[in-house]
Structure 1
């Protein structure tokens, strides 16, 4: 009897030992950095709209990663935070990502394209329906020597009418809107969501030219796209937390998809965040903000072509030189 009890006891001890070993083996083999706290910075505009669903879910602890979000009005504020390591991921204009790459000597990588072109020609003149129809006319716009200016000049040049279109620069989009209001058939180049807000105040105005369409006509099958915003990550954070970064990319893709498929619900989140004052304007603007999620080789091809155009206009607009291959994070090649 004593021998049977002894055997039974040893069996129990053996089972416990096996369970403990299996638990230890599982624990040792698991990557403890599958999730992480990710500090995300973005700009108050279309590039942040695609994050709205992610922000909502993060607030409710429904995502694998923990996120903190910082929203600024200027890329000049986000860049120092990335350089100092106070942000891990940032959503910035495509050319600013290139500048950041040069400033940090290659210490950031592009994860995805989050927003395509947001520029539209606005006018009450319904005869304006293509670049060629701008011949002999004046276009009002903001930001001489900025990316919208370079994009427009490139497109006009490719259409062969650069010298036959007058560009008149204003300080603020509100100045362009005021001219469109006062001068019949005036033409202005404006970004979303300001376009939608302007149209809501004047039913005589409409979007007469989509600059994305004009870009695509000229670029053809080269794969380049008119890029507004991209997402960059600090390489140090990426190397130490790659699974968490991949989680972010998945969350970002799903968030952008949700916003595009549910503009009414997303508009409430946009209003709450303060990006656009009224949900009704946000709902109308979202379909034209070209919120997207493009990563991998497709993103590389799209962004390379866009940066090349800017570089040809003014090399300093992309940081003086074009980024090399290491600028682009391709998950399946890492």
Structure 2
């Protein structure tokens, strides 16, 4: 046989083998060759989540050979838009947004929780002593349909109180709008998250915490943690093709979150350096009630399931219409 013909046949055979091999990798879901990533995009919302990951954002510019491109998103609207477009590879989001994104098929999975419930019902009205006593009163909250609203209404419903009928709800668009209202006395009852609460307590000495809403959710969910407030999500394709990197990243998150809770003053300095929107002077105080703690999803699947089931009972659209199936959990 002509040598040229043999060479052509050999080349075709080799190419066919390579193509079949690549196809088999896609079918089995195993990482393909030459699939090493060079960088990933991390987005974290301004406030407690960015404080929790502040050391990671500042120091961990690279994990192994992978560059970490971190950014702090200043508004809930922008964060939601980023996630629903599937822009970041990794992000910290409100847990109900993680459910919405999954139900829309955007391709994110939950790998852990960075922060648990850190929201409080507070009042400067001496007549308000329990959650039940807010009936007939005006209560200010942040953003209708956002996490503070969902969490508060859930607690009310669990106590047999109809939020829409039994009290007057008013809303501000951001937590930063609550301090001047409460300090001036224009608002006497409100649902306030940390770190806004610490900022208010410094100037409003007659403000009292009526209820730690996370303690209420511990009972509702039968959980030692309460409700998952800040959820760490990762693109499914990243988990499938670069699991070693994801495992190392999760380990870094755990270590850095622990460092933040143990080094409050240093964290305040880092937060200022990163431009996180909080007076760095109150960061150490805020961290005392911030409930920042990283927990791997392997330990808390049942908590998320119960939480999503409760949110579906309260308002299905808050989680995208249905309780996500088991595939929302990435391991």
Q: TM-score range by the shorter chain?
A: 0.7 to 0.9
Q: What residue in structure 1 maps to residue 220 of structure 2?
A: 218
Q: What residue in structure 2 maps to residue 11 of structure 1?
A: none
Unaligned 5+ residue runs, structure 2? 1-32
Task: Report how many aligned residue pairs link the two structures.
Answer: 297
- Shift in Å, 1:101: 0.9
2:40 is the counterpart of 1:38? yes
CA contact (8 A) 1:89 1:234 kept: yes
Q: What residue in structure 1 maps to residue 250 of structure 2?
A: 249
What does residue range 143-292 of structure 1 map to in structure 2 within 5 Å? Answer: 143-162=143-162, 165-172=166-173, 173=175, 176-183=178-185, 186-219=188-221, 221=222, 225-292=226-293
**C-alpha RMSD of the superposition:** 2.9
- Shift in Å, 1:255: 0.7
CA contact (8 A) 2:122 2:190 kept: yes
CA contact (8 A) 1:141 1:167 kept: no
What does residue range 13-24 of structure 1 map to in structure 2 within 5 Å? Answer: none
- Shift in Å, 1:120: 0.9
Q: What residue in structure 1 maps to residue 301 of structure 2?
A: 300
State the alpha-carbon separation in 1 of the partners of residues 230 and 317 from structure 2.
18
Stretch deviating more after TM superposition (145-154 or 319-328) = 145-154
CA contact (8 A) 2:49 2:114 kept: yes
Structure exhibiting the larger radius of gyration computed from Cα positions: 1
Instruction: Assess, with a 3 A threshold, how the Cα gap between structure 1 residues 184 and 223 changes in structure 2: closer, same or farther.
Output: same
TM value normalised by structure 2: 0.79
| Cα offsets for 1:67-96 (capped at 9, x unmatched) | 110211234434554566642111111011
CA contact (8 A) 1:35 1:243 kept: no
Unaligned 5+ residue runs, structure 1? 1-30
CA contact (8 A) 2:264 2:287 kept: yes
Instruction: Assess, with a 3 A threshold, how the Cα gap between structure 1 residues 55 and 174 changes in structure 2: closer, same or farther.
Output: closer
CA contact (8 A) 1:126 1:208 kept: no
State the alpha-carbon separation in 2 of the partners of residues 261 and 325 from structure 1.
34
- Shift in Å, 1:232: 0.8
CA contact (8 A) 1:142 1:170 kept: yes
CA contact (8 A) 2:43 2:72 kept: yes
Secondary structure, counterpart of 2:122 in structure 1: strand
Q: What residue in structure 2 maps to residue 121 of structure 1?
A: 121
